[in-house]
């Protein structure tokens, strides 16, 4: 299945849906091949204005127009969205709802439904998402490949088994929220040391971008890269000692672990 030949419909046109639509359009997908169902008129109007796509409150119309349906509503709203979708046939459903299992989606859509579950993150808004993808029992390799191609337009997409998707949620799904306070805190430290706020914020954010690119592009372990910066009796090793004193690594580990556990808890309630 070629992505540029697929008609893609969104159930929901909020921030994450908008990010994915932006990525698809930037990759060369025609706006004529994208549509969205959105009952909240202000969001619908934004999608029409920003992307020039067809938007309606009628989910059944979106299903009729689409080969692939991306479920982009909040987990609590999925049942209602699907109940108004009408006959779904054998169309591919891709869900970005946190904690909602493929089994739950198959139960709501139909036992033979082709479902792929996806966990992107908010960085899709700048086309830098880290996305985990897992197939339901009826999804084919081609379905997974298509989902991966869609989400590769907004960043990096990797296939993950569903039993590990809660870990992905705790790591990359929630992870940007862990990094934003780090950037703010680093900038605060620089302001304390004399830099102006704007300069400090840009340098802090670029430092995080650069460090992340080094991990990805060199393939080196973060500890090896850290040691490259830590000169004997230098400024960096003093800073590392401070981070260890305040158990920063343990705090980040526990944030990811707790986020993963919360995702499991949400899934059990669905």
Residues in the annotated binding site for NADP(+): 11-16, 72-75
Nearest to 9 by CA among 62, 47, 51, 73: 62
Known binding-site residues for NADPH equal: 59
Known binding-site residues equal: 11-16, 59, 72-75
Q: Are 60 and 84 in contact (CB under 8 A)?
A: yes
């Amino acid at each position: 299945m070629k992505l540029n030949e697929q008609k893609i419909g969104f159930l929901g046109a909020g921030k994450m849906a908008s990010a994915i639509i932006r990525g698809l359009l930037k990759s060369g997908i025609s706006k004529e091949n994208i549509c969205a169902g959105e009952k909240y008129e202000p969001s619908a109007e934004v999608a029409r204005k920003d992307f020039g796509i067809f938007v309606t409150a009628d989910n059944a119309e979106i299903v009729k127009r689409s080969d692939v349906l991306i479920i982009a509503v909040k987990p609590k709203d999925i049942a209602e969205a699907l109940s108004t979708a009408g006959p779904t046939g054998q169309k591919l459903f891709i869900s970005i709802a946190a904690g909602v299992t493929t089994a739950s989606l198959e139960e709501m859509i139909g036992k033979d439904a082709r479902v792929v579950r996806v966990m992107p993150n908010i960085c899709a808004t700048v086309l830098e998402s880290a996305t985990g993808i897992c197939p339901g029992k009826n999804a084919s390799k081609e379905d997974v490949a298509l989902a991966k191609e869609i989400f590769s337009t907004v960043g990096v997409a990797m296939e993950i088994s569903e039993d590990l998707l809660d870990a992905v949620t705790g790591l990359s799904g929630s992870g940007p929220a862990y990094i934003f306070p780090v950037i703010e805190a680093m900038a605060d430290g620089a302001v304390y040391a004399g830099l102006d706020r704007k300069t400090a914020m840009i340098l802090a954010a670029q430092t995080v971008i650069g460090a992340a690119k080094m991990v990805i592009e060199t393939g080196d372990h973060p500890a090896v890269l850290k040691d490259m910066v830590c000169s004997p009796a230098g400024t960096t090793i003093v800073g590392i000692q401070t981070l260890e004193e305040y158990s920063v690594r343990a705090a980040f580990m526990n944030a990811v672990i707790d986020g993963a556990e919360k995702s499991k808890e949400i899934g059990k309630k669905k």
